[in-house]
Amino acid sequence: MGRPTGAKKVRRNQATFDYIVCKQLFTKAGLRSFYNAGGPISAPVGAMEVKANWVPADEVDSADYYVSEAPDGKKYALTAMHIIRKVLPDWTWATFEHQNNPGRCDYTGCRDAYGALVTDVDASDVRDRPYSACAKNDALKAMLSAAGLSPVWEHYCLKGSQTDFVSATGLPTHLGNSVTEAGFADTSSCITCHARAAVNAKGIMTTPAGFVDPPIPALCPNPSGSCSPNGAPDPNWFWTNPGKFDQAAVAMQTDFIWSIARFAIGD
């Protein structure tokens, strides 16, 4: 079975929505005001966003997937999702994939210390192959049942999570979904990519995406393809002469929320 292709949707909870609207962060004028006031943009504890990938339900065995019906009556199956939540200052990051996704544990392996019977799954040397089903333990099954969720959710596997840019020994942490980050999952770091979400003094985003563009051979195993920055953020993304007496801000982070930087309206 090949990897299905489809559409991506992003949704946020009420706490995130209210913060963006009340602070006028959906407008460039509002972003300029924040910038001139010295910021920072900081969503409240409990803010959450979910990024989900969908394919037409007839492309997969839909009985094994969570299926949603669009307003036009077409049905779509969920293949992957990221969940981010503002629990820590730099948020918590988790990515999930349907167990049928080929290559879902590639590059980093899969780790689920809470709900899976097999906590650690090593990455295969052969890319894009199927991995075994991520059978769930009784505690997670009971939690899903108590929440009134269908057993179909047991088919979704936690690939991994992030809470920091680097490990305790200074190594970059990685997290990449075989669907959402297809083509650059080998270098992907959700937390580092989203750290680049920023605007300048005019309320205009300072980078079109989290990619290293153009690719830098020292950072990108495949310089001809897409590459994601990982590890600690580069101060040069946000400052001129960072760390020196004459450093000056040239960008304001939008608290890891790309949609603020990318879709602000107005001139």
pLDDT of amino acid 3:
53
Cα(57)–Cα(60) distance, integer angstroms: 6
pLDDT of amino acid 220:
78
E-assigned strand segments in the chain:
7-12, 48-56, 67-69, 75-85, 92-98, 110-111, 120-121, 156-162, 198-199, 239-240, 248-249, 252-253
- pTM for this model (two decimals): 0.91
Q: Are 57 and 70 in contact (CB under 8 A)?
A: no
pLDDT of amino acid 1:
45
120-129 residue pLDDT tens? 999 999 999 9
Q: Which residues pair with 93 in a beta bridge?
A: 84, 162
pLDDT of amino acid 5:
57
pLDDT of amino acid 127:
94
Query: Mean pLDDT per 10-residue run, the chain (267 residues)?
Result: 68 97 97 93 97 95 94 95 97 98 96 96 96 95 96 97 97 95 91 96 89 76 78 95 94 96 93
